[in-house]
Amino acid sequence: MYGLVILRRAAIVLITMLVASIVIYGALYLAPGGPIAFLSSGRPLSPSALAALRHHYHLDDPFLQRYALWLWGVLHGDLGTSLVFRQGVVGLLGPRLVTTAYLLVYSGILILIVGNALGILAALREGVVSTAITTTTAIGIAVPAFITAVVLISVFAVNLGWFPVTGSGSGFFDRLHHLTLPAIALALPAIAYVARLTRAAVAEELGREHVQAAIGRGIPRRKVIYRHVVRNAMIPIVTVSGITLASLVAGTAVVETAFQVDGLGSFLISSVTNRDFPVVQAIALILVTGFILVNVIVDILYGVLDPRVREAV
Amino acid sequence: MSVIETPLPPHPLSPVIRRIRGVDLVTWFAVVVLGLLALIAIFGPMLAPQDPNATNLSAAFQGPSSEHLLGTDASGRDLLSRLLAGGRSALLAPLVVALAATALGTTVAVVAAWFGGFTDRALARCFDIVFGFPGLLLAILAVAVFGLGLLAPVLALTIVYVPYVGRIVRSGALREVSLPYIEAAKVQGFSGRYICLRHLLPNVRKLVIAQAVLCFSYAVVDVAAINFLGLGVQPPQADWGAMVASGEASLIRGNPEESLYAGLLIVLAVLSVSLLGDRLLRNADAVVL
């Protein structure tokens, strides 16, 4: 039964990806002046370069065929050639993909640990602690990542000098050191969001009858909270945390630009400014795919975690 | 001596007063801040004490003075004037996004709920597909294709936000459509368009307004991000998001004012709008599907 739901879900994902790829490919034709004028955008291109462009985008074929050929190439790892760097897009993206992956995993861990801890704390400690956490998280949600970035740079990099101002670093620990502030900036709104939802979920579980019954039977509070409250509250928490992680993907463009970290996101922005469309297309494809895939994984996890969802469908 | 108290006739505005008295402190804060920001967006450029784009390199990084109330930036431009001038693009562009997305989303949602069946399923699928796109990414792609400026991102964000409104309004409209009064109106022979406009739409208005306000808060963040990235408003025009970015170079040299003031205004805008939206949504008894 649940397999059927996953299949249907997979079909929607496939359609979404297909629509996304058509938008990303077709964008070329929406550009004022047509694809060749747009791709060269005033750069003098040699006839051989022009021919290579026509060949890569299959400009001499009908649209659907062109799109299919392009997609076939993309699926086989052919992302085209950068118009600015004059080399394969795949080679340009490799190291940057690693940097962005570091950043995403780092903030993901921060969100899960800090967000959930704050939420559980706020639900269990009524009074000052709870009020402090709910108020700060309400404000935290409203602070966009690039503003957090600027404040963090000012305080921790410029004034205190604890962290480097910009750059991505090399090697594992140097990278972590360089990416700490960017990861915090990227994670902060999501931490606030996850903390609020965790608080609500835990508070709701606390009020349930089985929890009251367990407390009434004299089971130590610590055990009740760990076994009955937090574990049941995990279901909505995992879902929401996952969706929040997916939303980070687009946020990397902003945070990497703010910290001048040389990752996929900042490369996307510089390629937009340099009008290097093959690179823009490739990064957009990768980011959209990442975003959609995380969403799907979370959706499937939801059913795995909660037997009721499986039975309901 | 007995005083005969004549009951005061009810003040004509008493329902309004009662409503206002019931409003909590947070909502008051949100409304007041929002009002002030709206004034800046509308009248700011006229109120600016100096030309926001006039540079004076010998007066760079000055502290607050009677001439420059908030000091100057790296090019010696008056910060207060730039902050006042920069509210328009920071607030009006998101307003356009929110209004357009609300109009489109509500129309599609009501049509879907009214016709039901295949139409409803098809439109709901469309919502799901568009919902699967990260908004900021589509806005960046739009800039890549159509060139720098706010027009392309505003269009892209509008499309992405349609399901934000559509999904919730659809769930509200579906609930209304199943109620007997709609059936009664149908039996009386009113046209579908009349019932939707006169009965259905007014009954989901709270949801529509709440979602529109929430959309506005998301749009403020996304438009500010686009301007921060340098893809929207172009220099020398002042804009809060762009000022956070242009202030970064000064901030690294120890002059954080430009970035911080502009950032604070954006945060205030987002905070007040989203608080208001949350409260409106709670007030609308939304069943979020």
**A chain contacts of residue B163, beta-carbon cutoff 8 Å:** none
Percent of chain B with pLDDT over 70: 88
CA distance A109 to A113: 6
Q: Give the predicted TM-score (pTM) of the model.
A: 0.84
**Mean per-residue pLDDT, A40-59:** 74
Partner A contacted by B227 (CB < 8 A)? no
How confident is the model over B152-161, as pLDDT tens digits?
899 999 999 9
**Mean per-residue pLDDT, B39-57:** 79
**B chain contacts of residue A16, beta-carbon cutoff 8 Å:** 128-129, 132-133
From the list A32, A139, A254, which residue is nearest B229 (CB)?
A254
How many angstroms away from the CA of A276 is the closest CA of chain B? 9
Mean pLDDT of chain A: 80
Q: Would you state the pLDDT for residue B288?
A: 46
CA distance B95 to B91: 6
Q: Are A229 and A211 in contact (CB under 8 A)?
A: yes
Q: Cβ separation of B137 and A141 shorter than 8 Å?
A: no
How confident is the model over A64-73, as pLDDT tens digits?
777 888 888 8
From the list A38, A157, A268, which residue is nearest B140 (CB)?
A268
**Mean per-residue pLDDT, B195-217:** 86
Suggest the residue from A254, A274, A280 to mutate for an interface test with chain B (most B CBs closer than 10 A): A254
**B chain contacts of residue A274, beta-carbon cutoff 8 Å:** none
Please check the confidence at residue A1 and state whether its pLDDT lies above 80.
no
User: Averaging pLDDT over each range in B17-21, B87-91, B102-106, B230-234, which range is the top one?
Assistant: B102-106
Structure token digits, residue A141: 């949600």
**Mean per-residue pLDDT, A144-159:** 83
**B chain contacts of residue A15, beta-carbon cutoff 8 Å:** 125, 129
Closest chain B residue to A146, measured at CA: B225
Please check the confidence at residue B1 and state whether its pLDDT lies above 70.
no
How many angstroms away from the CA of A221 is the closest CA of chain B? 33
Q: Would you state the pLDDT for residue A47?
A: 78
- Residue B21 pLDDT class (50, 70, 90 cuts): low
**Mean per-residue pLDDT, A3-29:** 80
From the list B137, B229, B256, which residue is nearest A154 (CB)?
B256
How many angstroms away from the CA of B252 is the closest CA of chain A? 6
**B chain contacts of residue A258, beta-carbon cutoff 8 Å:** 228, 245, 248
How confident is the model over B55-103, as pLDDT tens digits?
777 777 777 777 777 777 777 687 888 888 888 888 999 999 999 999 9
> What are residue B72's DSSP bridge partners?
B78
How confident is the model over A91-137, as pLDDT tens digits?
888 888 888 888 888 888 888 889 888 888 888 887 888 888 888 88
Classified as helix, coil or strand, B62 is coil
Q: Cβ separation of A150 and B244 shorter than 8 Å?
A: yes
Q: Compute the count of residue pairs across chains A and B with CB atoms less than 8 Å apart.
A: 132
Q: Cβ separation of B260 and A139 shorter than 8 Å?
A: no
How confident is the model over A95-104, as pLDDT tens digits?
888 888 888 8
How many angstroms away from the CA of B114 is the closest CA of chain A? 24
CA distance B158 to B150: 12
Partner A contacted by B69 (CB < 8 A)? no
From the list B145, B241, B267, which residue is nearest A142 (CB)?
B267
Q: Would you state the pLDDT for residue B14?
A: 64
Please check the confidence at residue A154 and state whether its pLDDT lies above 50.
yes
CA distance B241 to B139: 15
- Residue A15 pLDDT class (50, 70, 90 cuts): confident
User: Averaging pLDDT over each range in A236-240, B20-24, B228-232, which range is the top one?
Assistant: B228-232
**Mean per-residue pLDDT, B29-50:** 85
**Mean per-residue pLDDT, A158-173:** 72
Structure token digits, residue A46: 């040699």
Partner A contacted by B94 (CB < 8 A)? no
**A chain contacts of residue B254, beta-carbon cutoff 8 Å:** 158
Q: Cβ separation of A150 and B263 shorter than 8 Å?
A: yes
How many angstroms away from the CA of B268 is the closest CA of chain A? 8
Please check the confidence at residue B31 and state whether its pLDDT lies above 80.
yes
User: If DSSP states are collapsed to H, E and C, what string results for chain A?
Assistant: CHHHHHHHHHHHHHHHHHHHHHHHHHHHHHCCCHHHHHHHCCCCCCHHHHHHHHHHCCCCCCHHHHHHHHHHHHHCCCCCECCCCCCEHHHHHHHHHHHHHHHHHHHHHHHHHHHHHHHHHHHHCCCHHHHHHHHHHHHHHCCCHHHHHHHHHHHHHHHCCCCCCCCCCCCHHHHHHHHHHHHHHHHHHHHHHHHHHHHHHHHHHHCCHHHHHHHHCCCCHHHHHHHHHHHHHHHHHHHHHHHHHHHHHHHHHHHHHHHCCCCHHHHHHHHHHCCCHHHHHHHHHHHHHHHHHHHHHHHHHHHHHCHHHHHHC
How confident is the model over A174-197, as pLDDT tens digits?
777 778 888 888 988 888 888 888
How many angstroms away from the CA of A121 is the closest CA of chain B? 23
Q: Cβ separation of A146 and B228 shorter than 8 Å?
A: yes
Q: Report the range of poorest mean pLDDT among A59-73, A103-117, A206-220, B260-274.
A: A59-73
How many angstroms away from the CA of A54 is the closest CA of chain B? 18
Q: Would you state the pLDDT for residue B225?
A: 92
Alpha helices in chain B (DSSP H): 14-21, 25-47, 79-85, 87-115, 117-131, 135-146, 151-177, 180-187, 192-195, 201-203, 205-228, 240-252, 257-283
Q: Would you state the pLDDT for residue B95?
A: 93
Percent of chain B with pLDDT over 90: 16
Phi, psi values for residue B72, rounded to 5°: -130, 165
**DSSP summary character for residue B199:** I
Q: Would you state the pLDDT for residue A145?
A: 86
How confident is the model over A53-90, as pLDDT tens digits?
777 777 777 777 778 888 888 888 777 777 777 788 78
How many angstroms away from the CA of B24 is the closest CA of chain A? 15
Suggest the residue from B25, B213, B220, B248 to mutate for an interface test with chain A (most A CBs closer than 10 A): B248
**A chain contacts of residue B230, beta-carbon cutoff 8 Å:** 269, 273
Partner A contacted by B125 (CB < 8 A)? yes
CA distance B127 to B113: 13
Please check the confidence at residue A259 and state whether its pLDDT lies above 50.
yes
Q: Would you state the pLDDT for residue B223?
A: 93
**Mean per-residue pLDDT, B184-193:** 83
Q: Would you state the pLDDT for residue A297?
A: 78
Which amino acid does the sequence have at B174? L
Q: Are A185 and A145 in contact (CB under 8 A)?
A: yes
Please check the confidence at residue B289 and state whether its pLDDT lies above 50.
no
Say yes or no: ipTM exceeds 0.95. Answer: no
Q: Would you state the pLDDT for residue B98?
A: 93
**A chain contacts of residue B234, beta-carbon cutoff 8 Å:** none
Q: Would you state the pLDDT for residue B233?
A: 85
Mean pLDDT of chain B: 82
Which amino acid does the sequence have at B198? R
Q: Report the range of poorest mean pLDDT among A10-24, A38-52, B120-134, B179-193.
A: A38-52
Q: Cβ separation of A284 and B125 shorter than 8 Å?
A: no
Q: Cβ separation of A147 and B271 shorter than 8 Å?
A: no
* Cα angle, residue A177 at apex, residues A175 and A178 outer, rounded to 5°: 65
Q: Would you state the pLDDT for residue A311?
A: 61
Partner A contacted by B229 (CB < 8 A)? yes
Q: Cβ separation of B133 and A249 shorter than 8 Å?
A: no
Partner A contacted by B96 (CB < 8 A)? no
